[in-house]
Amino acid sequence: MKVRDAMNTSVRTVTPDMKIMEVASLMTLYRFQGLPVIDADGALVGIIAERDLLHSLFPKLENLMAEGMHSVDYDKEMGRYKEILGLKVSDLMTPNPVTVDPDMHLLRAATIMVKHNFRRIPVAEGKTVVGMLSLGDVHKAIFHSNLAKGLSG
C-alpha cells in the first residue's frame, strides 16, 4: 500500500507572511495541529505546528535550573501568548520540513513519522504539497485493508 492510498488530499496551507493570529484561529476552529507553509510559487518552505506556537511559552531550562520549577509563574507565561499572536508564520515555522513521497510504501512513511516523533507529515512531489498523512490515516488504511482481506481468516 502506498502513501497516496491513505493520505488526505484536502490540504489547508498558510504562507510565511500570515499572522500567527490567523493560523491559531485555523488551528483552534478546525483542529489543525500542523499546517504546511508555502511560498508565493506554491513551493513548500516550512511547517507550522501547535507545538511551535506553544513552545515559546515554556519556561526556559536556564530559568528552571536557577529558580526551580515551583517558582515559575505559569499564569504569567500563558499571558505571553498575546505577544505570539502578532508574529508572522516565518518567525515560528520549522523550515525545510521532512516530507514523504506519495509513491512511498505506507509503512516506510509511518516509520519516518515515528522516527521524528511526528503525528502528521506533508506528502510532496518535489516542493509541491499534494497531501498530508497522519498516523491516524495510516492506522485507518491498514485496518480497512485487513478488513477487506477478512479478519477471521
Residue 70 pLDDT > 90:
no
Residue 63: count of CB within 10 angstroms of its CB: 14
**Amino acid present at 96:** N
Indicate the burial class of 122 (C-beta count within 10 angstroms; 0-12, 13-18, 19 or more).
buried
* Integer Cα distance of 94 and 83 in angstroms: 19
Question: Where do runs of H (alpha helix) occur along the chain?
Answer: 20-30, 50-55, 61-67, 74-79, 81-85, 89-92, 106-116, 135-149
Determine what percent of the chain is predicted with pLDDT higher than 70: 90
Q: How many domains does the chain fold into?
A: 1
The contacts of residue 116 (CB under 8 Å, 6+ apart) are 98
Distances (CA, A) of 111 to 46, 55, 61, 95, 118: 21, 25, 30, 21, 10
Q: What is the dihedral of CA 129, 42, 14, 45, to 10 degrees?
A: 80
| 0.95 surpassed by pTM | no
Full domain range(s) for residue 130 = 3-149
Residue 122 pLDDT > 60:
yes
Residue 147 pLDDT > 60:
yes
Summarised one tens digit per residue, pLDDT across range 87-110 is 999 999 999 999 999 999 999 999
User: What is the CATH classification number for the domain harbouring 19?
Assistant: 3.10.580.10
- 47: cell is 511547517
Radius of gyration of the chain from its Cα atoms, rounded to whole angstroms: 18
Higher pLDDT, 30 or 147: 30
Compute the mean pLDDT over every residue in the chain, rounded to the nearest whole number: 91
